[in-house]
Amino acid sequence: MSSVKLVNITKSFDEKIVLEDINIDIKNGELVSLLGVSGCGKSTTLQLIAGLINPDSGDIIFNDKSVLNTPTGKRDAVIVFQDYLLFPHMSVYENIEFGLKMKNINKKIRKDKVKELIKLVKLNGYE
């Protein structure tokens, strides 16, 4: 796990400000949810953290180090899009396991983590 901090993040699309001076401080091990109406910037915030888009201003910090110049694939952050972008040929279990598998995490550790996450989000029986 990493700590994640957004510092004065601003993001606009075509002159429309989506996020303005957003500050978030997520400590290592915390579980955080972003809630809000459609269009309020939840997905934009997640895309910024994952490195899929860049902020207009501000900084994104993982473990006290800026990741603004760190490529998406090296940020150690992932984003799971809404259901239409899950892998349709994979089970719920396999979709959850995918990121861990790509990081070459030991199979036993992956299995334990996936089971823990399925239990956490109350998806038991849908594996």
Pair (59, 21) in one structural domain: yes
Residue 87 lies in a domain: yes
Pair (20, 62) in one structural domain: yes
**How confident is the model at residue 84, as a pLDDT?**
62
Residue 115 lies in a domain: yes
Share of the chain above pLDDT 90, in %: 60
Q: Where are the beta strands (DSSP E) in the chain?
A: 4-13, 16-26, 57-62, 65-66
Pair (39, 15) in one structural domain: yes
**Cα 120 to Cα 7: distance, rounded to the nearest angstrom:** 29
Residue 14 lies in a domain: yes
Residues 40-99 have pLDDT tens digits of: 999 999 999 999 999 999 999 999 999 999 988 888 887 776 656 677 888 999 988 988
Residue 76 lies in a domain: no
pTM higher than 0.85, yes or no? Answer: no
Mean pLDDT of the chain: 90
Pair (107, 56) in one structural domain: no
Range of the domain at 106: 83-120
